[in-house]
């Protein structure tokens, strides 16, 4: 999905461990150990990367059980490429795939950090509070 005037291309596919780790940390997300990335990435349900001159500058993934529950994760764009609508393009590609392939009634969740909630709201995501509250535990 690239036009002659658009320097960015969206590509489906799970990023390599090296690319995944680099994009996360360079975009300000937490780092993940090699072992964790090696174990987790093969469980990706769907992923896209944004390429600029063939180099990944952004990504997003959907993980889940393939039927009932899905989670949008790893939405990130390198700082030098932010502000160009790339996060929106990543989310659109992921949501389009969710709408195309998930069964009726599938529950899709995400954790919105800071102002990212404004992006996710554009794709129909709404806060779960006060009916429920997101919780986490780091091991």
Query: For every one of its 139 residues, what pLDDT tens digit does the chain have, with 9 covering 90 and above?
Result: 555 789 999 999 999 999 999 999 999 999 999 999 999 999 999 999 999 999 999 999 999 999 999 999 999 999 999 999 999 999 999 999 999 999 999 999 999 999 999 999 999 999 999 999 999 999 8
CA 53/CA 109 separation, integer angstroms: 32
CA 31/CA 21 separation, integer angstroms: 6
Which tokens is 52 given?
A: 């600029």
Give the domain 8-121 fold.
Answer: Aminopeptidase (3.40.630)
Contact 64, 13 (CB under 8 A): no
* Contacting residues for 41 by C-beta, under 8 A, at least 6 apart: 14, 15, 17, 20
Among left, alpha and beta (phi > 0; psi -120 to 50; other), residue 124 is left
CA 105/CA 28 separation, integer angstroms: 33
């Amino acid at each position: 999905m690239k036009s002659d005037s658009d320097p960015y291309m969206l590509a489906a596919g799970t990023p390599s461990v090296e690319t995944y780790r680099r994009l996360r940390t360079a975009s300000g997300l937490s780092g993940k150990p090699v072992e964790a990335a090696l174990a987790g990435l093969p469980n990706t349900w769907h992923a896209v990367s944004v390429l600029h001159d063939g180099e990944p500058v952004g990504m997003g993934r959907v993980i889940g059980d393939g039927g009932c529950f899905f989670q949008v994760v790893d939405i990130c764009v390198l700082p030098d490429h932010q502000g160009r609508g790339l996060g929106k393009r990543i989310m659109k590609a992921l949501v389009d795939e969710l709408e195309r392939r998930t069964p009726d009634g599938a529950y899709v969740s995400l954790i919105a950090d800071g102002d990212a909630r404004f992006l996710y709201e554009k794709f129909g995501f709404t806060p779960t509070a006060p009916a429920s509250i997101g919780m986490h535990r780091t091991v």
